[in-house]
Structure 1
Amino acid sequence: MPDTSTHNALRRPRAARKTPRVDPFDGAEGSGTATPSAPEVDTQYLETLLGYNARRAALSVITVFLRRMEPFGLRPVDFSVLSVIAHNPGVTSRQICAALDILPPNLVGLVKSLHKRGLILRKTHPTDRRAQGLHLSAAGQRLYREAQATATMLEHEVSGRLSPEELQTLIGLLRKVYRA
């Protein structure tokens, strides 16, 4: 586990924060209010909005994801790109951009960074000599296997309040929204 003392030193002290940060998946109890005597804030309208609820759920999952992927040096987008490459050896950058809705200029730097870390290899595409197929290196395969196992574990933890059927329904409904 990496040393987080430097990171923690840069954060504002808990008392100085306007809203306490509570990790809903670490077993800690918390109401999400700044002080016990503070009046409850009305978020009733916001809670009727799909975007608000999707964002709140995503932030809860991403917070845990970032912490657990820190030892691997992976952000969510890095993990997603590695996953697409792992499951589609020889995939092109254009295909990754389309699959993950990433702008090509943003992917260029990401691919360069993953290549520099020795996680991916670029090979001439077998049917389009102008394109390069992307593959995981041996180091990339090892790192991805470990990161994927970690991601699977944390997904089970963060979705623990849902039954398997509820989870599948939620995933299906969210896909309907973003694939519309």
Structure 2
Amino acid sequence: MTQDDERPIAADALDRVTWALRRAEWAVQARKDQRLRPQGIAAAQYALLISVHNHPGLTGAELARHLNVTPQAVASQVARLEGRGQLERRPHPRHRHVQELHLTDAGRDSLRDADAVIVEIEERIAEKLGTKKAAQLRALLNEVADVVREA
């Protein structure tokens, strides 16, 4: 396989594990966005809400690191979700210039509804793969994450 500049590219470039992971992620994200859109929430907002739910009091910078996105991306989504009354900022108990993020009741309701959609997607995957293969896939993906972090 070659590119326009004729430098060789490995013939198996599109058969790599990393490419398969990316294709799967694109498919999952597209399905999440499609299924969450009627609820007025994007997959990225779901990820932010569930992260704050699981780690209440995160700062914007901590949340950005947790989600592996830029602080600007988090700030934009936080402002949007705060404007909808789904998130609130509270003063940090020790650092007066730092604010913690917390879900509001509306945020918890929205997250609960969105999570039901995500559960349906998960169930569809498990239904097609079977319970055993789905568990194996989850374990393998966790191993991949660990290997890449160690590299």
What's the TM-score once normalised by structure 1's chain length? 0.68
**Mean Cα displacement is larger for which, 117-126 or 55-64?**
55-64
- Secondary structure in structure 1 of the residue aligned to 2:57: coil
Name the residue aligned to 2:4: none
In 1, Cα distance between the equivalents of 2:19 and 2:126?
A: 18
2:125, 2:134 within 8 Å by CA — same for their partners in 1?
A: no
In 2, Cα distance between the equivalents of 1:173 and 1:70?
A: 30
For the pair shown, the structure with the greater C-alpha radius of gyration is 1
- Secondary structure in structure 1 of the residue aligned to 2:18: helix
Name the residue aligned to 2:119: 152
Name the residue aligned to 1:37: none
Q: Which amino acid aligns with 1:147?
A: A
Q: Decide which of 120, 128, 132 is 1:161's aligned counterpart.
A: 128
Gaps of 5+ in 2: 1-10
User: By percentage of residues, which structure has more helix?
Assistant: 2
- Kindly provide the CA deviation profile for residues 26-81 of structure 1, in whole angstroms up to 9, marking residues without a partner as x: xxxxxxxxxxxxxxxxxx93553012211222222222211110022222211100
Q: Which amino acid aligns with 2:143?
A: K
Gaps of 5+ in 1: 1-43
In 1, Cα distance between the equivalents of 2:126 and 2:32?
A: 13
In 2, Cα distance between the equivalents of 1:61 and 1:158?
A: 10
Number of aligned positions between the proteins: 137
**Mean Cα displacement is larger for which, 169-178 or 95-104?**
169-178
What's the TM-score once normalised by structure 2's chain length? 0.80
In 2, Cα distance between the equivalents of 1:159 and 1:52?
A: 22
In 2, Cα distance between the equivalents of 1:48 and 1:105?
A: 34
